Structure 1
Amino acid sequence: MVRHKIVLHFPHEQVDKPIVSKLVRDYNLDFNILKASITPREEGLLVLEVTGEEADYDRGLEYLRSCGVEIQPLSQDVRRNEERCTHCGACLAVCPTEALRLDRETWEVRFAEDDCVACELCVRACPPRAMEIHY
């Protein structure tokens, strides 16, 4: 069983089609929508956590690509700018998944990308704007 967080970019001609529902029906995958921005006649953006057997996951992603959907891991889109981060800890209080954690030995903030759900609360809370979203 695999679990991946991915970002889907839909071309404008595909945003009104039931592409994602086929992941459940035809590929036995479960998904949780973490973020969505779909506008008719414009590009659509969907952040999903997808769970299923690895072979089904691979076939499902191949199907999405065949529909013109661009796929990338969520970790490419949510980043911490290490040069800007002052390790002030303002992000720690707002992170619902504890993807941002305090290292008690170094007193530095650590970012566990795999735990991030792209809620963007850290972006608003970060005084030096070290947390960045690049969709």
Structure 2
Amino acid sequence: MAPQKVVLRFDAQISDQPVIYKLVKDYDLVINILKANVNPQKEGTMVLDINGEKAEQGIDYLRSLGVKVKSLTEQIMQNENKCVSCGACTDICPSGALYIERPDMIVRFDSDRCVVCHLCVKACPMRAMEVCF
């Protein structure tokens, strides 16, 4: 079974609970946290890979807590025809999905590592990074 990428949005009441622990322990899920952010008000966002037979039950559990769960259907694509390998996107990419391949100094994109944060789309002066649905 392939991992399912989801975006979680939660409020302060959830941020101090062992939610990820319960997904692993109670639902036997393999969780990979791709990105997490909790603001000073303790509201947060997480991007997860969820893998396991009880993934849907785990997602239902999250929803029962008031967590907003959205399937990550967007993808980022690199338009190699537009890319000039300037490297602006590699500095801002939090997951390392964009990197410079040495010794050729060509920007490469590993879509499996991408957390769809859109930072590269904003940073690319050539508009070579594109959002696809």
Normalised TM-score (structure 1): 0.63
Aligned to 2:103: none
Corresponding residue for residue 106 of structure 2: none
What's the CA shift for 1:34?
0.9
State the Cα distance separating 1:128 from its structure 2 match: 4.0
Change (3 A) 1:69 1:90: farther
CA contact (8 A) 2:9 2:67 kept: yes
Describe the superposition over 1:97-119 as per-residue Cα deviations: whole angstroms up to 9, x where unpaired. 47xxxxxxxxxxxx996x25227
Q: Which residue of 1 aligns with 2:72?
A: 74
Cα deviation, residue 42, structure 1: 3.9
Q: Which residue of 2 aligns with 1:16?
A: 16
AA aligned to 2:121 is: V
**Alignment CA distance shift 1:66-1:90 (3 Å):** farther
Shift of 1:49: 1.1
The offset of 1:5, in angstroms, is 1.4
- Cα distance in 2, alignment partners of residues 12 and 61 from structure 1: 19
Q: TM-score, normalised by structure 2?
A: 0.64
| Cα offsets for 1:3-42 (capped at 9, x unmatched) | 1111110122211111121100100001111111013534
* Correspondence for 2:37: 37
Aligned residue for 1:47, secondary structure, equals: strand
CA separation in 1, counterparts of 2:129 and 2:10? Answer: 25
Stretch moving more, 24-33 or 35-44: 35-44
Q: Which residue of 1 aligns with 2:104?
A: none
Instruction: Provide the identity percentage.
Output: 41
Residue type of the partner of 1:123?
V
8 Å contact 1:35–1:119 — kept in the other structure?
Answer: no
Secondary structure, aligned partner of 1:22: helix
Map 1:44-83 to 2 at 5 A. 44-53=44-53, 56-76=54-74, 78-79=75-76
- How many residues align structurally? 116
2:50 is matched by which residue type in structure 1? V
Aligned-residue CA RMSD (Å)? 3.7
